Amino acid sequence: MSDFKFIIDGKPVDTTESFPVLNPATETVIAQCPKATIEDLNNAVAAAKKAFPPWSATPDSERARIVHAIAEALEAHSEELCQLLIAEQGKPMGGFAGLGAGFEMGGAVAWCHSTADLELPVEVIQDNEVARIEVHRKALGVVGSITPWNFPLMIAIWHTMPALRSGNTVVIKPSEYTPLTTLRAAQIINEIVPPGVFNIVTGDGALGAAMSAHPDINKIVFTGSTSTGKKVMRSASGNLKRLTLELGGNDAAIVLPDTDVASAAPKIFATAMINNGQTCAALKRLYVHEDIYDEMCDALAAIAKSVTTGDGSGEVDFGPVQNKTQFERVCQLAREAKDSGARFLSGGEAPDIPGYFFPVTIVADIDDSARLVSEEPFGPILPVLKFSDVEEALQRANNSSSGLGGSVWSSDVEAATALASRLECGTAWVNNHAMIQPDAPFGGVKESGFGVEFGRYGLEEYTSIQTLQVSKA
């Protein structure tokens, strides 16, 4: 692996402390990552604060050009970045349905280009003989980004490109489990942006907590667990930071009795197991009408038994669970479900080999009260639950503190759309799930967070409104 250093004010920084980064497929150390101190964080924030006035004053068209240039530079290094993703995150290059490291790389580039093309023009709400009133969008200042380990490159881009595009400067802290890809991307970005515009520090949760409380950070963008999101929110109250929190999800899907199982099952499987199930908006609770329940269970089990799990550096469909803590959680939820009498149609037991491997697992005949259903597993395991009444299924689907995404599956698109609109979630899909795009807002309700990302709505969250009123009377 390369020599990894974090970057402050455009310069690599030497540190006295470091921490190991593991390959989850082998449990071996692949690199030592520099560990930032609070002084390093303060220096990074100071550099971003200093760089903010000239960057926010940079012409809008020039900032757009620079974000496009970042996309092109990342794409030019795509092979290198993908290899880092495979090594530290565990996902294969292609993977099942083409949703592996190459997919994440392509998504990062696409989101850069799409964000570069966004605009927030001045809105004129009155212009008459009395006054002209304009609404301007103003950059906030220093944006702190705290990213998770499941999509370390793509989510870093989601957080930071809208910040740069709207005139803010950045301090980013990637997950300590997967810092390498983000560090390398930051090096590439710093070859394009002025010093201090894009700073990166690496460390554990204590560093993230210090960012959340830092008085000179004006906004925090956080993707991660609900419990950590609540801590971020409390810490951010010191200076009333703006927040965008995309937190945990426990997405439910309702499959109506007229659904074509042969057509729907592969899509359901892919959207439940995307990134080995380690995706906030993956389908995690599947409610299937009793008329087609057995048929759907058999179809999903057949797909699960046909896929391969192994080291992402090889030709496999799925890699390991990313870290030991998450792996042990998935194992525990599976054991509890099995002990309660649930029927396992595939998988269910981790092999006794090095690496955090858990086979793709389909679980039937399980109760809503089981932790595998009521809590987000964040791994390659899907509970399939039976229902007889649609209203009952809707109530069960909505009976969750989470509200990120949900879906309805049916041959009757009109009926499915009407039902989907009643799901208590930020995004509702019909005959699909977990499909997001850079021009459509995405965010959660209830304990899945608040604020949205992507498109014009997401870009607005990196700005404040200034109303400019010019009197003519």
Give the whole-angstrom CA distance, residue 460 versus residue 45: 22
Side chain identity, residue 373: V
Q: Are the C-beta atoms of 194 and 55 separated by less than 8 Å?
A: yes
Q: Which of 82, 112, 280, 425 is catalytic?
A: 280
Q: Which of 246, 447, 460, 461 is catalytic?
A: 246
Q: Find all residues with CB under 8 Å of 234, minimum gap 6, and list them.
A: none
> Alpha helix (H) ranges present in 33-153?
38-57, 60-76, 78-89, 101-116
Give the whole-angstrom CA distance, residue 187 versus residue 233: 30
Task: Give the sign of the dihedral formed by CA 193, CA 220, CA 273, CA 406.
Answer: negative
- Tokens found for residue 429: 């899909």
- Tokens found for residue 154: 């793509």
365-378 as b/e: b if 16+ CB within 10 A: bbeeebebbbbbbb
Active site residue 33: no
Task: Kindly give the pairing relationship between strand 242-246 and strand 219-223.
Answer: parallel
* List of E strands, 183-271: 198-200, 219-223, 242-246, 251-255
Active site residue 424: no
Question: What's 368's DSSP letter?
Answer: T
CA nearest neighbour of 105 among 188, 161, 181, 180: 181
Residues tagged active-site: 246, 280
